[in-house]
């Protein structure tokens, strides 16, 4: 990728490419005939399918149940019939999926819970759990688990994350501009559940219009602060936001709850509003489709399960042949090679790069410039972790804090020797976690 980077301690100023979509209103995406629901679309255990081929479903029918504590329910986003249950290409590779054939009748299930108001805090958490809501900024961690900290852990601060720092992504920006009322109501629900006195809604300074929209709504609420932060990558990382807003540091291997804080993405807060007030589960999300090769980049409201190829058609195809398709942004995203891969709850942006942008220079030897250390926002030594992994020394990689890496990709993009630092660190993390689970 040839996006220009300018180094700053603990981050980079990258060349923002949001101008083609940041003022484009959200449009409804085409709803396809076949939608594909990966059972592993969240972090943790894949959901367990509870439908069979031939079963009739409506919008909001539960098709796969969460399995274990770290998991999430999956609901049909169209009415129709279960067409297939088999392995399909997903952003995580080939994995079990449920395919539903759309009958285009737009039949809805009854509201997925019967209570309409005066829910207790416990009941609201149960609704959020049942709705299958996960972190929609990309982490896909079950939200109900975040809202249930360990016994004895006091949460006093809620951070709503609207700092959308990937170069092409504008889905959260448009959400904050166009759905500020619903978003802030979701924030109030979350604040009530956590019983916190301080809420920060954090966004970057280049989305000032969204800050203005939200300030109009919270004018009389002293405990909610809209905070405009410097536009720098990765401003939106959880640990960065906590440090910036509270001066608290999440300990190595720890969680935000360890410093009395919970961080929730703006899209997740909107999903919470929809679950509590509209009584519907998580069945759609806002996704940016952008990049130079796309003829007409857009922000689209997409049904979960929609194959990416339909979004390309909604954007009228390509003006130049793309060199790379990325699920996510160019800094943290995953390269994919099939338009059959479906949109999931964690898909905030699909990015296309031109062939020239996608070219990677040949790797050379480390020149000991220390740039990867300088730009690491969590103060790791990426080159040393990478070398430990390549030498097969997982113990050393773990001692160097590989598991604390936030996958921002700054190190790889700044590296003049083109060493695949992030790839190596991700691989090290995967092997370390596998080893821990095997014990």
- The SS3 of residue 352 is strand
pLDDT confidence of residue 252: 83
Q: Which of 204, 214, 236 is nearest to 138 (CA)?
A: 236
pLDDT confidence of residue 439: 75
| For residue 370, pLDDT beyond 80 | yes
Tell whether residue 315 is among the known ligand binding residues. no
What the chain holds in terms of domains, given with CATH numbers, is 26-110+281-356 (3.10.20.600), 121-278 (3.40.50.11540), 371-438 (no CATH)
CA distances from 121 to 143, 251, 368 (A): 14, 29, 53
Count of CB atoms situated within 10 Å of the CB of 390: 14
pLDDT confidence of residue 8: 53
Are 262 and 251 within 8 A, CB to CB? no
Q: What is the mean pLDDT of residues 285-311?
A: 97
Residue 97 is classified by DSSP as E
Model pLDDT for residues 119-131, shown as the tens digit of each residue: 999 999 999 999 9
pLDDT confidence of residue 230: 86
Q: Which of 140, 166, 164, 91 is nearest to 410 (CA)?
A: 166
Q: What is the mean pLDDT of residues 266-289?
A: 97
Q: What is the mean pLDDT of residues 58-85?
A: 97
Model pLDDT for residues 154-195, shown as the tens digit of each residue: 999 999 999 998 889 999 999 999 999 999 999 999 999 999
Show the CA angle centred on residue 160, arms to residues 157 and 163, nearest 5°. 130
Tell whether residue 319 is among the known ligand binding residues. no
Are 408 and 237 within 8 A, CB to CB? yes
| For residue 1, pLDDT beyond 70 | no
pLDDT confidence of residue 7: 53
With bands split at pLDDT 50, 70 and 90, how would you rate the model's confidence at 409?
confident
Average pLDDT of the chain to the nearest whole number: 92
Place of tokens 């990258």: 14
CA distances from 149 to 65, 124, 156, 193, 306 (A): 23, 15, 12, 11, 34
Tell whether residue 97 is among the known ligand binding residues. no
Q: Which of 64, 79, 12, 16 is nearest to 240 (CA)?
A: 12
| For residue 3, pLDDT beyond 60 | no
pLDDT confidence of residue 13: 59
What pTM does this model have?
Answer: 0.90
Model pLDDT for residues 411-437, shown as the tens digit of each residue: 988 888 999 999 999 999 989 988 887
Q: Which residue has the higher pLDDT, 68 or 3?
A: 68
Tell whether residue 165 is among the known ligand binding residues. no
pLDDT confidence of residue 10: 55
| For residue 12, pLDDT beyond 70 | no
Q: Which of 188, 166, 346 is nearest to 267 (CA)?
A: 346
């Amino acid at each position: 990728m040839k996006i220009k980077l300018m180094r700053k301690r603990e981050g980079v100023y990258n060349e923002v490419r949001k101008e083609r979509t940041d003022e484009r209103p959200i449009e409804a995406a085409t709803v396809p005939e076949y939608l594909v629901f990966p059972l592993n679309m969240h972090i943790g255990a894949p959901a367990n399918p509870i439908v069979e081929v031939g079963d009739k479903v409506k919008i909001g029918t539960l098709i796969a149940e969460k399995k274990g504590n770290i998991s999430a329910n999956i609901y049909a986003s169209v009415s129709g019939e279960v067409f297939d249950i088999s392995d399909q290409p997903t952003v995580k590779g080939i994995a079990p999926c449920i395919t539903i054939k759309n009958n285009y009748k737009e039949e809805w299930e009854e509201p997925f819970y019967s209570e309409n108001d005066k829910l207790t805090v416990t009941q609201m958490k149960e609704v959020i759990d049942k709705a299958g809501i996960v972190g929609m900024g990309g982490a896909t961690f079950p939200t109900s688990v975040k809202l249930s900290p360990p016994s004895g852990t006091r949460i006093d601060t809620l951070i709503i994350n609207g700092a959308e720092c990937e170069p092409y992504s504008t889905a959260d920006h448009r959400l904050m501009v166009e759905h500020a009322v619903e978003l802030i109501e979701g924030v109030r629900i979350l604040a009530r559940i956590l019983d916190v006195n301080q809420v920060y809604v954090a966004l970057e300074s280049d989305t000032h219009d969204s800050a203005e929209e939200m300030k109009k709504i919270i004018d009389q609420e002293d405990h909610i602060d809209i905070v405009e932060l410097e536009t720098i990558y990765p401003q939106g990382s959880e640990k960065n936001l906590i440090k910036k807003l509270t001066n608290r540091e999440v300990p190595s291997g720890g969680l935000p709850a360890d410093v009395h804080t919970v961080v929730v993405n703006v899209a997740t807060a909107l999903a919470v509003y929809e679950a509590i007030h509209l009584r519907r589960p998580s069945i759609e999300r806002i996704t940016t489709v952008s990049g130079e090769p796309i003829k007409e980049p857009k922000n689209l409201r997409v049904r979960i399960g929609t194959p990416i190829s339909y979004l390309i058609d909604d954007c009228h195809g390509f003006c130049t042949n793309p060199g790379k398709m990325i699920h996510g942004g160019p800094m943290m995203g995953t390269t994919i090679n099939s338009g059959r891969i479906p949109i999931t709850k964690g898909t905030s942006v699909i990015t296309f790069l031109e062939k020239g942008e996608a070219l990677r220079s040949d790797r050379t030897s480390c020149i000991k410039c220390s740039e990867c250390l300088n730009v690491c926002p969590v103060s790791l030594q990426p080159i040393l972790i990478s070398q430990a992994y390549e030498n097969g020394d997982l113990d050393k990689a773990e001692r160097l804090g590989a598991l604390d890496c936030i996958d921002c990709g700054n190190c790889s993009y700044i590296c003049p020797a083109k060493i695949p630092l992030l790839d190596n660190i991700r691989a090290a993390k995967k092997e370390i976690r596998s080893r821990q689970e095997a014990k």
